[in-house]
Amino acid sequence: MKFTRTTALAAAVTACGVAVTGVAVADKDGRSAEVVAQAKKEDRARNVILLIGDGMDERIITATRDYQVGADGKLPGLDGFLLTGDKTTHSVEEAPPNLPDYDPDSASTGTAWATGFKTSDARIDTVPGDDTPYGDPENLFELAERKGLRTGNVTTADVTDATPAVQMAHVPARGCQGPQNMAACPTYRRSAGGPGSISEQSITKGIEVIFGGGSSRYAQTADDGETVLSKAEKAGYRVLRTRSDLQSAPLDKPLLGLFDNQTTNGGNLEVEWDGIPASNPPTGPATGQVCNEANPARPASEPSLVEMERKALQALTRPGRGAEKGFFLQVEGASIDKREHAAEPCEAIGETVAFDRAVKLALDFAKERGDTLVVVTGDHAHSTQIVQAGTNPPGCSSRLRTKEDAVLQLNFATSTPCPNPSTGAAGASQQHEGSEVRVVAYGPSAGEFVGLTDDTDHFDIFRDALDLPAQGRTKAPAGTPNPSR
């Protein structure tokens, strides 16, 4: 298989006069030699770790760097890569001729990298205008499982939310997360001969690890009167509910970890930080608020993203059942996006810091092994802007006191009204933004991500890097009516 972008990158570096024979390059800090080494790494990967910062574009990364380590500092994970690029993320409209939709959502962008197909917003691994079950394009996890690779899905959101769902399910509407949420997906109901909701499909794919929130989706009763959680246990999953469960769980079974606070939400995990939301005019000290790095609403029973990722890596690399074939792990920092929607800069930055720790773990894992491709990116751009401190621009602003003892002012101006910190009233949901987003990569085939790619290109790169089988279409189980498409 030809990795044309990697080959082109290596040739370009060589053309600049950098030795590629293994001889040390005399440059300021050895970066040239490391770039060459990475650019030349065309061999296939055994493993892939794909890390998605939901809503994570250059602006929230920059804001996190400025606040956490300073304008001249480096984030240990996100700034630890030398091969970088950008990707375009547009979706398409539902109706023919399926013109570009320049401001996509997580369902359509996730479908693009998981299947290689553009789709319309809110669809999970299905094509625009077609709500017929089966015949949908296979996703990367399905191809990996067909080859015998282990797969794992880790998120701080509901495990049935859009980004994790694109590796586990096919539904025409992202809200069809449990069997009682199928109003928008009637043809996909199990009782109608379809594959069922996202939670129902997730436990039928052979996925080794599913970690996050979303217990309320699995507690729902399916069309046959049985809960999805009961079905998961019958399918062989060991169900985990707390950090303690996670730490002590043996690795003899597939793991389904639903770690949300079931008494309060049954959905997303709590964010790690909290602070004063953005408002108009901005509230809090003129010298900037200091974010609270210990959110009091976050229970001790909830594991962190990096703790879930570490356990997932242990499960995916344990000896036995085809361990030598490798794995595909997807890790999502979901609430970067969710707190940007709420115009809450402390929470969004805190989730980016937590995501950065997960990135560092993956990068260290890959550097130690040498056979793992790590790719870090966002799914779409979002609303955070860095603006002149001390001003009151249109939109909702918040001033933060950085570690450099300077004021960092962040603004959110894609929706009104703003949150009201004095009453606790939430504002309107800030909207996504359509800019391209950053991509960084390390390991075999990392050079394929340098320059400008589209998110559909990533499907092809992952498939080639792991030498996965040719993509097919989903099929109905034996004995199930399979309507023509």
* 50 and 120 housed in the same domain: yes
pLDDT at 30: 66
Q: What is the pLDDT of residues 176-199, one digit of tens each?
A: 999 999 999 999 999 999 999 999
* 130 and 8 housed in the same domain: no
Residue 106: active-site member:
yes
Residue 2 exposed, middle or buried by CB count within 10 Å (0-12, 13-18, 19+) = exposed
pLDDT at 24: 43
DSSP, collapsed to helix, strand or coil, labels residue 294 as: coil
How far apart CA 430 and CA 58 sit, in angstroms, is: 17
Residue with tokens 């606070």: 261
What CATH number does the domain containing 153 carry?
3.40.720.10
* 32 and 54 housed in the same domain: no
* 237 and 168 housed in the same domain: yes
Query: Is 484 inside any structural domain?
Result: no
Rounded to 10 deg, the angle between the 345-369 and 58-68 helix axes is 90
* 293 and 345 housed in the same domain: yes
Query: Is 4 inside any structural domain?
Result: yes
* 28 and 133 housed in the same domain: no
pLDDT at 26: 47
* 67 and 27 housed in the same domain: no
Q: Could you give the number of structural domains in the chain?
A: 2
Please, which residues have CB within 8 angstroms of residue 459's CB and are 6 or more apart in sequence? 112, 113, 114, 115, 116, 140
Phi/psi of residue 429, each to 5°? -70, 120
Sheet holding 384-387: strands in order across? 384-387, 407-412, 396-401
DSSP assignment of 67-93: HHT-TT---TTTTS-SEEEEEE--EE-
Query: Is 483 inside any structural domain?
Result: no
Q: What is the pLDDT of residues 29-82, one digit of tens each?
A: 666 777 777 766 667 999 999 999 999 999 999 999 999 999 999 999 999 999
Query: Is 96 inside any structural domain?
Result: yes
- Among the options 32, 91, 106, 279, which is catalytic? 106
Query: Is 71 inside any structural domain?
Result: yes
* 49 and 35 housed in the same domain: no
Q: What's this model's pTM, rounded to 2 decimal places? A: 0.94
**Average pLDDT, 10 consecutive residues per value, the chain (485 residues):** 61 57 51 70 88 98 98 97 97 98 98 98 97 97 97 98 98 98 98 97 97 97 97 98 98 96 76 97 95 95 98 95 89 98 98 98 97 97 97 96 96 97 95 97 95 97 97 90 60
The domain in which residue 207 lies consists of 45-465
Query: Is 29 inside any structural domain?
Result: yes
* 6 and 88 housed in the same domain: no
